Every structure is written in C-alpha cells, then in structure tokens.
Amino acid sequence: MAAPRTYQFNLPTAGRPDDVMLEETWYPGIRPYWEGASSRRIYDPILGVRAVVIHATAGASSDGAVSVIRDRKASFHWLVPDENEPQHGQLVWACIPEARAAWHVRNTCSHADVWGGATKVNHWSLGIEVVNTQQASDPFSAWQVEATARIVRYCWAKYPNLKHVVSHARLDPSRRSDPGTAFDWDRFRQLVLAGNGHDVPRALAASTRATPRGKRAKKAGTSDGGCCP
Ligand SMILES: [Zn+2]
C-alpha cells in the first residue's frame, strides 16, 4: 500500500528541463482574493523556492476548493481540475501568484529531509491542489497525474534552487494524508524526472488551447473546501 507520508523525491541538478509549456489560466474572479489569502514571501520569490508540495482537495469540485481562498482560510498556486469538469484534460487553474506565499502548509510543519527541516514551508514552496475526494470511488485520472507532473517540470525549469517534491502528508503527518494512497506517486515521479509522454508539442498545445477564458467551472453541487493548510 502506498504511504503518502513517504511521498518525496528530490530533483537532480542535472536534467533540468528548459522548454516546458504550461497550459494555465487564472481561476475566474480570483484576483481580488490574492492579497487577503496569501503573504509576501520572506525569501526571494525566484531563488528562494525550494519545494513543491502536492495536495488533494478532499472535495469534488474546483469551485469548492477555491472557496477556501475566497474565505481567506487557505490557498495554493495551482488547481488541477477533476474528470467531471470541462477544463479537465485542457488546462490547470492558476490561483495565487507564484511570487507570493500561498497558505497550504501550517507554519509549524516541517520534515528533516525537506530543506533541512525548515519551518514556514509556505515561504519557500509552491503548492498544487488536485481536485479529488480521496474516496475509494474517486480515482485520480491519468491526466490529473500528468498535469501535476507538468506543473512540477515547469517549476523545475523556472526555479534554479527548486529541489524537493513532497506530499502534504509528509510535512504534516499527524493531520494530513493527502494526496492520498490513490495518487500514483511512482508514475508521477517518473513523469517529472523523465518528462516522457506529457510534454505537449507546441503546435498541438496551441491547437487544443481550449475553454473560453472567464468561463466558470461548473459546480458539482458540493460546497466542499480544500484540505489545507
Ligand atoms: Zn493538503
């Protein structure tokens, strides 16, 4: 059985990608909430980024996940849509500017193997939420794993000191288990490190650029929140 509290790998200094395209769009209407649901980084916003933290929302919709940002309870940089949403297979949602610290890990949390056990993880990390109920009836789609890997490769290409890719569960094992046992961490790691099978050729990506900007994601009839921090 996969154990989310063990989910971690480190990015090698060799093999950093230099041409990763990310199909992302701001979540509709999110901008007014940036300042109230994130913090100014205490480290350099490029050189200070050391880790990417992988989460799952424990909810059934992107809109439910974003509600925690509107409520100023928590936040994350990207959101990966679920299978029943029109953006699935097309794009990921950008929610908080990468230059700001999103609120996805509690300030007191740390792990000895993640940047020397430093706390205040939000200030030196980026957070990705994958929409998934974490119920046995809701597997992650192959695309969700691929899209999450693509975001990490994008970050790897962009942030020269990025090293750690880690689950929320590893950083906060007493309270969190996300992204959960159903998230195929081995395949995810392979996609990040090898880059095979998910770097969309530019021409193809342009031709499939989808989904009208500003179109709101359908609500799945739930008011679930995100899992964090
Ligand atoms: Zn989480």
Query: 57: CA distance to ligand 1 center in Å?
Result: 7
pTM: 0.87
Res 200 pLDDT > 70:
no
For the domain 20-207, what is the CATH superfamily, name and number?
A: Peptidoglycan recognition protein-like (3.40.80.10)
CA angle 17, 139, 164 (to 5 degrees): 30
Interval 7-19: pLDDT, tens: 999 999 888 998 8
Query: 4: CA distance to ligand 1 center in Å?
Result: 11
pLDDT given for residue 204 in this prediction? 44
Query: 32: CA distance to ligand 1 center in Å?
Result: 23
Do residues 113 and 92 touch, judged by C-beta distance below 8 A? no
Query: 58: CA distance to ligand 1 center in Å?
Result: 9
Interval 141-165: pLDDT, tens: 999 999 999 999 999 999 999 999 9
Query: 62: CA distance to ligand 1 center in Å?
Result: 14
Query: 69: CA distance to ligand 1 center in Å?
Result: 14
Mean pLDDT of the region 174-202: 83
Burial of 203 (0-12, 13-18, 19+ CB in 10 A): exposed
